[in-house]
Amino acid sequence: MQTCSKCNATSPDSAQKCVKCNADLKEYSATVVALQRMQANPRVKAIRVTVAHDACPHCYELMQTYKKENVPALPHQGCSHQNGCRCFYEPVLEETAIVGKVAN
């Protein structure tokens, strides 16, 4: 599901535009707006993609820490969960907090 940052309506993963206000979700979904805020914040060193506990294998595989300028778009287009991709971005504030694998 994608949440519109303008009107708070939820649209399916595959939607390009908000089903209610027609905003471009590539620009105005809540996850995109949150990501842009993190990328603009110099204290954020990297961005982690976090998955729901019952996420599908595709999403689990993409649960990684990414460089700020190299973050994949959400929702994941290959998600196979019945409720769709519910992954979200999480800021990593310190270099030392980057644990696990970092994608190149």
- Give residues in contact with Zn ion (CB under 5 A): 4, 6-7, 9, 18, 20-21, 23, 56, 59, 76, 79, 81, 85, 87
* Nearer residue to Zn ion within complex by CB, 29 or 92: 29
Q: How far is the CB of 66 from Zn ion (least distance, A)?
A: 13
Other CB atoms within a 10 A radius of the CB of residue 1 amount to: 13
Q: Please, are residues 4 and 11 in contact by the beta-carbon 8 Å criterion?
A: yes
* Nearer residue to Zn ion within complex by CB, 71 or 79: 79
The pair of three-digit structure tokens given for residue 8, joined into one six-digit string: 């708070």
Q: How far is the CB of 40 from Zn ion (least distance, A)?
A: 22
* Nearer residue to Zn ion within complex by CB, 39 or 50: 50
What are the counts of helices (DSSP H) followed by strands (DSSP E) for the chain? 3, 5
Helix (H, G, I), strand (E, B) or coil at 24: strand
